[in-house]
A and B are shown apart, each in its own frame.
Chain A
Amino acid sequence: MVNKKEQFIKTIDEHKKIIYKIVNSYCPNRDNRKDLEQEIIIQLWNAFDKYDDTYKYSTWMYRIALNVAISFYRKEKKWFSKSDFYNEESIFKVEEDTSEVETELDYHLKLLQEFIHNLNELNKALMLLYLEEKSYEEIAEILGITKTNVATKISRIKLKLKNEFKKIRKNGSRRV
């Protein structure tokens, strides 16, 4: 049992960025993020024994984390038990950025994250996977749609994103 838990912690540690990014994209409310993080961890733990090794670990993890995040986002928390087992503390630690100057990268990242926030639940998943440089085949596998559909949707979202950025630049504003 201890070994299984240790192995699970190791797997989560190796893929922590997946969970962190999904939580940040689906949970705009900072206070609720730790609940979502923990719900994802619990669902991953429940499915850990049933992991199907015909898929990559990351595919398995994306599916579970995205399914939980979408449910959470859609206020389906009652599907799960009450949050009596949720910790007060987040399971991820991010070192504070000491620099007070917002770089161009930070600014663009913020815009990109805001754009992703505004997509609907399914397109958000698609965009996250695309930006993670997943192949169309893997995206299709995670989402359960065809490769052609993935390609069409991505090109549409990319165009939308390009236009959004263009609009912001044209307005010369740093706010979205």
Chain B
Amino acid sequence: MEAGEFKKILAAYDTKLDEKLSLNVASFKSINLDKSEKRTLSILKYRITEIVVFSLLALFMGNYIASNWNQSHLAISGIIVGIFTLIALAGSIGQVTLLKQIDFAKPIVDIRNKIELVNTHGLLFVKLMFLSTPIWWSFIVVGSDSLFNIDLYANMDADFVLKYLMVNSLLIIPLVWFLNKLTYKNLHIKWVRKTIRLFTGSKTMKALEFLNDIEKFEN
């Protein structure tokens, strides 16, 4: 069967629809169209809440760094935690920007890309979590100092600090390699799929798969 024949089938179907398809005006009029205008996207609310939380945290960290500027270990730990907070904040702002750009009247591939990028947001937090592994102690130091007023560093053995820095600096290169692998472009690698699925769930996984499909479709 050739393309012309498919079109003939569809043309015949069109003629049939012209004769038999009609608008159910009563049902149409009963749709509450105005109500839809008042709807807000719940996902947008979540992301705005994230922005508020991370902004407050960033302000807190700024204040924490300023007040502990003379104690280098606390200031450095604060800067590290602050950087992570700012990355998370930037991620959430990026999400709101994407959500605001979603307009269904725009070309399909562009809109699908944006929607799926929103759906893969969870992966950013997973990456941040892994990225913070070598410097996890900074979170503990800042947490214990600000919540319980306990300076853990002052009670640490100098040897422990040295060993900690050495071991964890060795982790940085494999970690960067590992995080670079965690993208939709590497979904064909079994362990990448398994890791993403394990840490982000099937919704993110499906979105990443679709991003892959979109890229193939575009090329």
Classify the interface of chain B: helix, strand, loop or mixed.
helix
Contact check, A161 vs B6: say whether CB atoms are below 8 A apart.
yes
Q: Could you say which interface size class chain A belongs to? A: 35 or more
Q: Which residues between 51 and 95 of chain A lie within 8 Å of chain B, taking CB atoms?
A: 51-52, 60, 63-64, 66-68, 70-71, 74, 76, 78-81, 85-87, 89-95
Classify the interface of chain A: helix, strand, loop or mixed.
helix
Total residues of chain B contacting the partner, CB 8 A: 51
Contact check, B28 vs A85: say whether CB atoms are below 8 A apart.
no
Q: Is residue B210 contacting chain A, with contact meaning CB distance below 8 A? A: yes
CB-CB nearest in chain A for B119: A76
Contact check, A78 vs B107: say whether CB atoms are below 8 A apart.
no
Stretch among B33-41, B60-68, B123-131 lining the A interface? B33-41
Q: Which residues of A contact B23 (CB under 8 A)?
A: 9, 12-13, 16, 91-93
Q: Which residues of B contact A42 (CB under 8 A)?
A: 31, 33, 36
Contact check, B217 vs A41: say whether CB atoms are below 8 A apart.
no
In the bound assembly, the distance between CA atoms of A145 and B112 in angstroms comes to 12
Q: Which residues of B contact A141 (CB under 8 A)?
A: 107
Contact check, A122 vs B31: say whether CB atoms are below 8 A apart.
no
What are 23 A-B pairs at a CB distance below 8 A?
A9-B25, A45-B36, A46-B37, A50-B103, A50-B105, A63-B105, A63-B108, A68-B104, A76-B115, A78-B42, A78-B43, A79-B43, A81-B36, A87-B27, A92-B21, A95-B20, A105-B12, A105-B13, A121-B213, A122-B109, A141-B107, A145-B217, A165-B1
Q: Which A positions have Cβ atoms within 8 angstroms of B?
A: 5, 9, 12-13, 16-17, 20, 38, 41-43, 45-47, 50-52, 60, 63-64, 66-68, 70-71, 74, 76, 78-81, 85-87, 89-95, 97, 105, 108-109, 112, 120-123, 125, 131-133, 141-145, 149, 153, 158, 161-162, 165-166
Leading 6 A-B pairs by shortest Cβ distance: A144-B107, A144-B109, A95-B20, A67-B104, A89-B27, A85-B32
